[in-house]
Amino acid sequence: MNNWVVKLRVALWLTLFFVVSLLLYLAIVPQGHIIYTSNFVKKSFFIGELFPRDRVSFVIDKDKTKRAVIVGDPVYFSLYTPRRFNKAKLVLTYKRESQKINSMPIIEAGVLVDKVVWRYDLKPLDNAIIDKLSNNWVAVTEGNLLLLQKPDTNGSSTRKFYQSISEFLNNLPPRDQIALYNYSLDVDYVLPNYQKQNEIKVFDYPLRGSYQFYTYIKDETMNFNFTFDCLNKDKEADPIDLNLYYRNRLIDSKHLNSFGNNQNNIKRNLNLVVQDLPEGVYKIEIKANDDIITKNIKTTQQKISFINSLHLAQGGHKDFLVYTDSPVIYVKTTHPLSLQTVQIGNKKLEIKEIYKQFSATVATSSIKFEKDGIIIGGEGVFAFSPDSLINPSFTKVDKNFILKQEKINYILAKYKRPFLKGGWQESEVEFDISHAYRENYKYNFLISIPGLRVDDNIDDKLIVKEVKIYLSE
């Protein structure tokens, strides 16, 4: 046999051995930690492409390098791992390009933790509002916490200035002076002059899929009855979970088994009756897929305010009012018969295309809709009567903060400012992924840039240089 044939065979066997060994090493990760890297331009076996594709483009940067560009919010990517890990650190290197001063104020990253309600554990990468205010507000830091205090420009204020975050937490100012970012304050929320009533109210607006709402209890039994129906549009199981929270802690739960495809038009009920509860605000969560319709809710509670969104199914309701404290609303429909004109005070919002989100600022508490079959979103709560409105949440430093910061004197944030490296910004976040959703060996991540839209005719975009994900046990 010729020597060159022998050498070729040896080389091929060595190459095969090296490839198999590398794949085994990447699958086992014997050291318990590994790093995956992608620029979203070159294909990576482990980190998937950014999608949906209509929110992603590519440009040639000043250094003649092709870069991935995010032009719409949000975008997603998957991470393939042959085994599970407990921790993930995501490092994003990026830069903004915009002709709008206040464009893209918030950048966050998240990992999918609950597929039923598509809930992501979101972490802050970049908050340009806080970064800007840090330049002239009085800043106090302790560990990873930042307290910003509005300066007294005319010297006439009697407002307190805190020397430490501990002092602030132990002697809080009025809640309407506080804004938060990536931080929760466990503070009692009490409604003065609240009186219980025994009259049963019926909310018969059909709600589709999952939702959350606040309610209030004082010297009364919590009493809710939910009536559900199932569209049976697919063969998936359709279970329903009800969770009751007090001060962000789960205190009770109920479960309703799958409807099943042979139970068309059979309504089912779920009762929540809890006695001897302390006075305060409670959160109720319904977890269900979009096959499930809540036909009605019966309760003796006076307050029901839906958190951040309402998905109203088609039920024949016309010319009805929804009340909100959100400074901005977003409206979308998937039904041609639900296209309509929404009346917001003296303004009109035309919903003239299906599957497209329309938005408007809100200067009034009531919004009039011509028809149901719509999805309503915002940064606040929604109710079907003004007396039902309740929102225990503090003001958040989000993309609409400029619209609601008039009374804010203090900002408390769990936030670390991005680094500047050679014209690029670099920011990192850490996730506990021990219970993150994982399917087909993949974790699912997103990059969220609220307010960034493809169709707003504004030349703004986020150029991505690189993402690194550090995984460990």
Q: How far is CA 74 from CA 324, 374, 465, in A?
A: 24, 21, 18
3-state secondary structure 99-131: CCCCCCCEEEEEEEEECCCCEEEEEEEEEHHHH
Query: What's the pLDDT tens digit per position in 222-279?
Result: 999 999 998 877 667 788 999 999 998 999 999 998 765 555 557 889 999 999 999 9
pLDDT digits (tens, 9 = 90+) for 8-60: 676 777 777 666 666 656 556 656 678 999 999 998 889 999 999 999 999 88
Residues 416-442: tens digit of each pLDDT: 999 998 889 999 999 999 999 999 999
Q: Which residues contact 260 (CB under 8 A, 6 or more apart)?
A: 238
Tens digits of residue pLDDT in 276-332: 999 999 999 999 989 899 999 999 999 999 999 999 999 889 999 999 999 899 999
Measured distance CA(300)–CA(201) in Å, rounded? 6
Q: What percentage of the chain's residues is helix, strand, coil (to nearest 5)?
A: 10, 45, 45
Q: What is the pLDDT of residue 444?
A: 97
Q: Are 443 and 436 in contact (CB under 8 A)?
A: yes
Give 374's strand partners: 312
Amino acid at residue number 266: I
Mind listing the pLDDT tens digit for each residue in 172-194? 999 989 999 999 998 889 998 89
User: How large is the average pLDDT for residues 410-417?
Assistant: 94
CA distance 111 to 432: 9
Residues 269, 225 contacting (CB under 8 angstroms): yes
pTM score: 0.84
